[in-house]
Amino acid sequence: MTGAVMGGTKVPALGKQPAGGRVLVQKAKILLVDDRPENLLALEAILSALDQTLVRASSGEEALKALLTDDFAVILLDVQMPGMDGFETAAHIKRRERTRDIPIIFLTAINHGPHHTFRGYAAGAVDYISKPFDPWVLRAKVSVFVDLYVKNTQLKEQAALLRLQLEAGEEPAAIGGALLGELSARLAAVEEQAEALTKQLDATADSAGAAATAAHLERKLAGLRRALDALRPGAS
């Protein structure tokens, strides 16, 4: 899989490094929640270039059911839905330990003003976008969250591998050093992407949305960097 292009910069392809050294593609899942099939089709068209797994849900209840069995990198959630609306769905997602940290991007066709927007952030969204939205901006945001998810998954897998090596009396520096270097380089690329995206949001998005997204990215990236540093040989 080739890397995606963001702002003229090519993003490294997503994948994990098995023992044999060959990179295997690891696709992330993105949950699309909207009661209108035409809106789901539009989202799929916008996000298809990311070459990830897109999962549809036509209601809040269906979204919560999907979240019981699968892990997702990010959720795109329509606010205006019959029955359980986006705010109520998000509240359920944030109450579950398994799903509370999944980034939620609210999408709405109705602009009710700042109060409605802040209600979205209060419900746990990392961003709140009014339709019609800029496809590039949405795709760029989703791409960064996907990269964060994949890097986090890779770090967890590497941590498990290092633990097994230590238990077996092997030397982790010799076996895991190459992958740690690759992960560090990929994380640096994501940090660069996030910085570029934050600048783009500052210029195009509302200030509250840009601030919320930037803060979420900063927390996630800082956590990933700390986790990666802790895996290095000799780290205490």
- Residue 43: the pLDDT is 95
What is the rounded distance in angstroms from the CA atom of residue 213 to the CA atom of residue 35?
Answer: 25
CA nearest neighbour of 75 among 201, 153, 92, 206: 92
Domain ranges across the chain: 27-133, 137-231
The C-alpha R_g of the chain, in whole angstroms, comes to: 19
- Residue 11: the pLDDT is 34
pLDDT tens-digit readout, 41-53: 999 999 999 999 9
- Residue 20: the pLDDT is 42
- Residue 219: the pLDDT is 74
Question: Do residues 54 and 150 lie in contact, with contact meaning Cβ atoms separated by under 8 Å?
Answer: no
Q: Which residues of the chain have pLDDT under 70?
A: 1-25, 110-124, 159, 162-163, 165-179, 193, 197-217, 231-236
pLDDT tens-digit readout, 126-148: 788 887 888 998 998 898 888 88
Percentage, residues of the chain above pLDDT 90: 28
The fold of the 27-133 domain, in CATH, is Rossmann fold (3.40.50)
The structure's pTM equals: 0.68
What is the rounded distance in angstroms from the CA atom of residue 173 to the CA atom of residue 181?
Answer: 11
Strand partners, 129: 107
Q: Torsions phi, psi of 78, nearest 5?
A: -70, 140
CATH 1.10.3470 fits 137-231, yes or no: no
- Residue 145: the pLDDT is 87
Q: Torsions phi, psi of 37, nearest 5?
A: -60, -35
CA nearest neighbour of 59 among 75, 35, 29: 35
- Residue 206: the pLDDT is 52
